[in-house]
Structure 1
């Protein structure tokens, strides 16, 4: 759809190529608009359709919600949805439902056009649009009567209550009428291999768009109709029904009039509100599905025996009994509902109430009695191949999703619509039709196309900026993986391309990352500035990342990488001996959520690469969800590990692309050699600190106090005054290190404890005991620090602030033990604590009894 600086190539995008989408695309194209027609599935030619059972099985997908089973490819031609006591069938491929549709063209009944749900605006030009749709679809009359039509004609008026025959035309070329176009159109062979179906696509697209921010009426999914559809199979009749499709090799042996005929060749409508049509069973369909697997037999008790006898006749090459399919439609209540499951992203539906179901079954039973044989009725209450509604046309958003022109309502403003967004298929039909709805759908599409064409041409010819996305906007709304691919292509030409697959667990849940890394294509301007003081790894070890992550515990669909970078030889300034492989990925989901995935492979120079394999193939990962719009919903924040298996590593090496792949492998191995074997640090520590100090805030100024203890040892105490809190002085904090002398004062750390305390308004004291390397070495114990050094430091604080001040003490490791010794020395009685052993015993006791030591925090 365009990207970069390319011009947007289309004035309109039509999603779906069934009866509605085909009409809209045709009218737009004839008006001179540039049209993009999008459809799920493949293009089918006449010779591609399955002609036997073995060919039809791979082209069938069944989604059974009752059993929780999905079988078959997602782009299969036939799509069956089984839910509760209902079945719905749709098609997948270029042409939509027309691929497997019987192509029955019957005008919309007057009863439907008088319904209060029917848009009154449609009546203004309905007959004109209906004639235009019929002409475009080249509807033709059936040349003569075929066997099942003759039989139905003899008995229908007697067995179906108050019925009348329908004026039946098919959108099929019988070579009986002149063609209206030079377009080549195959002729019907009367072989009996056609079906009918409908779609769920529009409702699913709008549900998904609503998740991503599109405002849609609350009536989305309501008003769903199955068109009162049921299917039955009549077998074992003595009448010449000839309702079984013939195989291709039999065509030349059977005259045209003696063949089964098109899928449907007769139709009778009862005044009660239902229609019964005789149909032909395609040769590719397994008849056992209609003889007990998905049906039940009537009369009860005979159907199983009939199946055995019929099978034996077939094996003995005897004449098979006659059979045909009976297709039933009617007027249901149109009160069903379509929903989209939040977790599985699958469409679920609840069929409408069918008040005529009993009457339809009784009519079928009367036909069976007259013709003889066994009637196999569907086990499901609704077996629908004509789906309608769910995005109903209505006067306002409180009753439907779109107006009579197909424009989608903005629910907050009843009189306004989303510009440029139209519905133009069966989903806007607001009620059941009672007969085959193909011509009704095409007629509604003709009506909508009139306004749609004007809208598109108005924007195309307008001097104002179009409301359709320009190139730079279009590049942001296309699929994330396409946008990332475009981004990678427009970056610096990569020298090496690596494909890597890692699997593992995040938060205990399975996760797989499929990465495409383009090394040498990364923009390193910022990195050059950030790392100008240290030794730079080769640019071939850096690059951009595309691909996707599969993490179904969080998102059902793939998480596409819309931006990512990798550095295979990153060095932390604080750990110059350790090598890191750093990954930073921004992920986008189909639900609109965004995530950041950061990962590191950590390679430490221990034991000459004994852990080298584990470290170079283990990515330590953190996944964080980006909180947009300050949502109060708990955000995802997970940690885990992804691993590169030996098999995937070999695949990555084999799939290496680029003219510098050999150089890349050498550089990567050299970095491992330096880390694990030579164990040489990276970077220059001498020039490292000044460059960091320029970027960080300067360390707070301090005063150094030298203190003489009573046992003659010299110690020091560094004081950081807090000038920002002069009005309300906080309690001084005394920090006591352990054996590691710089636990609290770390100039290279932006948020060490000293900086943090000073920023919070605390006067901070850091005790440098006789253990500190700046003091002369001498023999001492930790007990000496507790007896002499800590009391001396506290005395200095009391000297400056007065005897009434409280002191917080934060001690680490051996410092914690020392402060305990100091406090326990205070609590000893004077006779058991000689004055010479604790000369400052009185000042410590005084501080303790007056609660001068306000709090003690001990960090082990």
Structure 2
């Protein structure tokens, strides 16, 4: 596969500065809104996202690609890549699906942009400031709509056809004596350069919204709020997993690990970045996990942390093998205009059953589609589950024979024919009791909610879905985990709560503006610490929650601006189209060196090493060396790459120092000593308490008597200066060395960056390896 030019929002991790005015954690609706609005207000903003950046064309299209992008948080272990796009949290009572990537779950949701029943906000679990000022929430709704640009499916207009799955929903709605309507969805139905300069293609009706839109039609935060933040000079860094927060000298320290650097192989400490303000937007599970870990380390927080988790009353069901065609399986690797008939957006319409006397009795039923990447496993899976759990709604001999034929056809011809082509997916949002709790166990977030699936609403919903399926002549199939054998476990794609709003610390984790309470009781607040995502919502909302999350985040940003006397401009000035580029192939590896350092010797490296050893004054670093353009690195005279990481020098700071502006030179010729090559390490170091140092180190590579290749390439002579450069006083000297076990681990961290296929990866590693060995051969042989 040849690499294509693409837009890129994220910056290399080596560009991260040691301190920002605002650090935003997470890039879903809450995080991206905070980054956009605070950048518009003129703040210096940095956004950290634990997943990778995906652009249209990067999302999985078949089963093998999808499998690589799955990760599972099990009770005892984590399986899969920690940056895989589709993340499943497997718990005893309720399983949770979230997205992991730049754009958060917006990358893999079904785009529905709908307001909840107005009575949702009358619940006293909301702070009175929300209940008494719904106009501010309405302003948030309007601002979110202006950015997200939702539209209803334009049936019969501009060449968009009537969709079989929508027609089936109309039949079901009539049988239920309820109203069907098209629902606003964050999807573009025309090709254009949008309001923030992003090129978007019209929806091609592929039905693969929930595995990621490869056509750029889906209005994820990747298409609007995030590029808007970039347009206003924010910086975005991906594959950065925030662990916990700490307050030191009125600054917030955000501790994180690099997801793809493999620093854990060296037991390396976390890195950190400083901020005046931190905004948590990592989602219900992510924001709660970060605060729970922060609380374990001493941050004063409310006892409500982790409480009032809700799955938004989510129910998944299927009308299997109906008597009508549905076209409900996404295209996958099939292209528009081919043999596969139009599916439509994942969700196009809704049967609205919310107008009940009691709010909690209402719910919505939406049509869905199954991603084409899963097409290969669907016939066998559905036929097996239908045999075990299905409820046929129209039993007679003729129907039995016809349905049997459709099943055989699906097995022989695949998911795009027969029984699977006649299967309708139901997605339901209702109201549960929001009594789930979250905790950290084994360094991962876990959800506890005994007996949740036995709440009466779920039986009510499943009965209604069975009734809808009867109108279509199919077999109703519940979510397979919602069965007696599996204790009626649930699955949610809309996790909410965990850092809920409340009028005091006894009732919530944050106040009505999203600001975090600073203790177990009362209304004292942590200055500059906010949560602005689904974690703050204290109850189910009964519909897809993205608009509610966005509206509350917009409202909170408005209040933050008022508190800090900022002005947020909301207009859309003309912007240049987003730049498209092909990222060059790069290289990366992580290196650990250990040794001794002394502040008492400032001239002689060997003496400093010996003094450090005698006084037990160690020094070590773990650095990730990154070249974002391998060919430029190899062909230039300086052979330059960049570095990030930590340096631990107890003689200077009891905590690890974080690196910024690190520069590495591989085999640079020493102009003063002919025939000598040097590996140079230069970087700024930053301490927790604000102290700054400058690190200068070099390895000398030249042939002298004896076999000294290993010694030369594994021995680093270091000088550390006070201040930000070599103009400051010398703080001390020392020598660091690579231990054989660390070198063995270092080899395993070597990886090529931005390659399109395994062949290009192999070529990059080969080019680097040949350059390295050739340089050594010429020097020593």
Calculate the TM-score normalised by the size of structure 1. Answer: 0.53
Larger relative contact order, structure 1 or 2 (CA cutoff 8 Å, min sep 6)? 2
Deviation at 1:45, TM superposition (A): 0.7
Partner SS for 1:189: coil
2:386, 2:285 → 1: CA distance? 23
Deviation at 1:382, TM superposition (A): 1.2
Residue 334 in 1 paired to residue 409 in 2?
A: no
Residue 205 in 1 paired to residue 305 in 2?
A: no
Deviates most, 291-300 or 240-249:
291-300
Tell me the C-alpha RMSD between the 2 structures: 4.6
Distance 1:146 1:535, change over 3 A: closer
Deviation at 1:226, TM superposition (A): 0.2
Partner SS for 1:284: helix
2:746, 2:136 → 1: CA distance? 67
2:600, 2:61 → 1: CA distance? 59
| Aligned equivalent of 1:516, options 588, 593, 596 | 593
Query: 1:525 maps to what in 2?
Result: 601
Per-residue deviation, residues 341-390 of structure 1 (Å, max 9, x unmatched): 1xx11110024743301101111111222212333212333110000011
Partner SS for 1:516: strand
1:153, 1:316 → 2: CA distance? 24
1:7, 1:329 → 2: CA distance? 42
Query: 2:391 maps to what in 1?
Result: 299
> CA contact under 8 A between 2:62 and 2:333: conserved in structure 1?
no
Matches within 5 A, 1:147-226: 147-159=164-176, 163-165=178-180, 168-175=183-190, 179-195=194-210, 199-226=284-311
Query: 1:101 maps to what in 2?
Result: 109
1:349, 1:295 → 2: CA distance? 31
1:115, 1:306 → 2: CA distance? 51
> CA contact under 8 A between 2:332 and 2:371: conserved in structure 1?
no
> CA contact under 8 A between 1:233 and 1:323: conserved in structure 2?
yes
Query: 2:422 maps to what in 1?
Result: 322
Query: 1:265 maps to what in 2?
Result: 348
Deviation at 1:432, TM superposition (A): 0.1
Deviation at 1:441, TM superposition (A): 0.3
| Aligned equivalent of 1:119, options 127, 130, 140 | 127
Deviation at 1:234, TM superposition (A): 2.5
Deviation at 1:458, TM superposition (A): 6.1
> CA contact under 8 A between 1:33 and 1:456: conserved in structure 2?
no
1:649, 1:14 → 2: CA distance? 33
Deviation at 1:293, TM superposition (A): 6.5
Per-residue deviation, residues 235-285 of structure 1 (Å, max 9, x unmatched): 211212121112454412479xx6110000111122332211111111012
> Where does structure 2 lack aligned partners over 5 or more consecutive residues?
1-10, 156-161, 213-282, 482-488, 569-588, 624-644, 652-737, 749-768
Query: 1:350 maps to what in 2?
Result: 448
Residue 399 in 1 paired to residue 482 in 2?
A: no
Partner SS for 1:441: helix
Distance 1:111 1:306, change over 3 A: farther
Is the radius of gyration larger for structure 1 or structure 2? 1
Deviation at 1:101, TM superposition (A): 1.2
Per-residue deviation, residues 524-559 of structure 1 (Å, max 9, x unmatched): 529999989x998999xx9832239xxxxxxxxxx9
Per-residue deviation, residues 374-411 of structure 1 (Å, max 9, x unmatched): 33212333110000011100111101100000000012
Deviates most, 301-310 or 208-217:
301-310
Query: 2:466 maps to what in 1?
Result: 365
Partner SS for 1:234: strand
Distance 1:649 1:517, change over 3 A: same
Distance 1:37 1:224, change over 3 A: same
Deviates most, 442-451 or 83-92:
83-92
Deviation at 1:182, TM superposition (A): 3.7
> CA contact under 8 A between 2:284 and 2:533: conserved in structure 1?
no
Partner SS for 2:301: coil
> Alignment length, in residue pairs?
513
1:564, 1:448 → 2: CA distance? 41
Deviation at 1:51, TM superposition (A): 0.9
| Aligned equivalent of 1:562, options 648, 673, 676 | 648
> Where does structure 1 lack aligned partners over 5 or more consecutive residues?
461-498, 501-513, 549-558, 566-641, 666-860
Residue 45 in 1 paired to residue 55 in 2?
A: yes
Per-residue deviation, residues 2-47 of structure 1 (Å, max 9, x unmatched): x9xx986522111111011111111111111111111111111110
Distance 1:116 1:538, change over 3 A: closer
> CA contact under 8 A between 1:277 and 1:326: conserved in structure 2?
yes
Partner SS for 1:237: coil
Partner SS for 2:552: helix
Query: 2:364 maps to what in 1?
Result: 275
Distance 1:247 1:401, change over 3 A: closer
2:105, 2:187 → 1: CA distance? 15
Deviation at 1:218, TM superposition (A): 0.4
Query: 1:614 maps to what in 2?
Result: none
Partner SS for 1:395: coil
Per-residue deviation, residues 578-634 of structure 1 (Å, max 9, x unmatched): xxxxxxxxxxxxxxxxxxxxxxxxxxxxxxxxxxxxxxxxxxxxxxxxxxxxxxxxx
Residue 243 in 1 paired to residue 328 in 2?
A: yes
2:172, 2:417 → 1: CA distance? 28
Partner SS for 1:414: coil
Partner SS for 1:10: strand
Deviation at 1:184, TM superposition (A): 2.1
1:537, 1:422 → 2: CA distance? 44
Query: 1:139 maps to what in 2?
Result: 150
> CA contact under 8 A between 1:78 and 1:90: conserved in structure 2?
yes
Residue 34 in 1 paired to residue 38 in 2?
A: no
Partner SS for 1:112: helix
